[in-house]
């Protein structure tokens, strides 16, 4: 009769352990659900987007100014300009939304393709 009681104790222990772990996991999941925002923040409300976009655009403009007086370094500066435009495109993709986003991404994609073509044809 001792073995029968031992088996019942083990079964009860396993059941109680399973119930405890399940309840703990369910509670943790519920708390995580309550703590998370209902929906992601709109792109315009993302912290740092406005500053990042302004900084990236300023760097593109500075590189454009250097291109006007490039001389022998034209290829190096054109490659730098290409990288700056790619950065602006990445920040725009992250920070903008709606029709403005799509229009700007299309324009930036065309600029990237044009600059890449210039680098391929002029720079060796």
- Helix (H), strand (E), coil (C) string for 81-120: HHHHHHHHHHHHHHHCCHHHHHHHHHHHHHHHHHHHHHHH
Look at the block and give the residue holding tokens 């992250």.
Answer: 94
Report residue 42's pLDDT band, with 50, 70 and 90 as the boundaries.
Answer: low
Q: Indicate the pTM of the whole model.
A: 0.60
Number of other CB atoms surrounding residue 29 within 10 Å: 10
Q: Is 6 or 118 the better-scoring residue by pLDDT?
A: 118
State the helix-helix crossing angle for 49-68 and 74-95, rounded to 10 degrees.
160
Q: Of 51, 43, 47, give the one whose Cα is nearest residue 105.
A: 43
Q: What band does 38 get if pLDDT is binned at 50, 70 and 90?
A: low
pLDDT of residue 33: 61
Average pLDDT, the chain: 79
Residue written as token pair 């900084």: 55
- Which residues neighbour 81 within 8 Å (Cβ) at sequence distance 6 or greater? 60, 63, 64, 67, 115
Do 84 and 57 meet the contact criterion of CB atoms below 8 Å apart?
no
């Amino acid at each position: 009769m001792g073995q029968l009681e031992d088996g019942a104790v083990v079964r009860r222990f396993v059941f109680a352990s399973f119930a405890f772990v399940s309840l703990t996991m369910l509670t943790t999941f519920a708390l995580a659900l309550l703590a998370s925002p209902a929906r992601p923040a709109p792109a315009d409300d993302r912290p740092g987007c406005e500053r990042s976009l302004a900084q990236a655009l300023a760097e593109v403009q500075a590189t454009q100014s250097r291109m006007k007086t490039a001389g022998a370094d034209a290829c190096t500066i054109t490659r730098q300009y290409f990288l700056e435009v790619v950065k602006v495109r990445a920040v725009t993709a992250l920070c903008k939304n709606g029709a403005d986003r799509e229009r700007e991404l299309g324009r930036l994609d065309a600029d990237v393709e044009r600059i890449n073509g210039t680098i391929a044809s002029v720079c060796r």
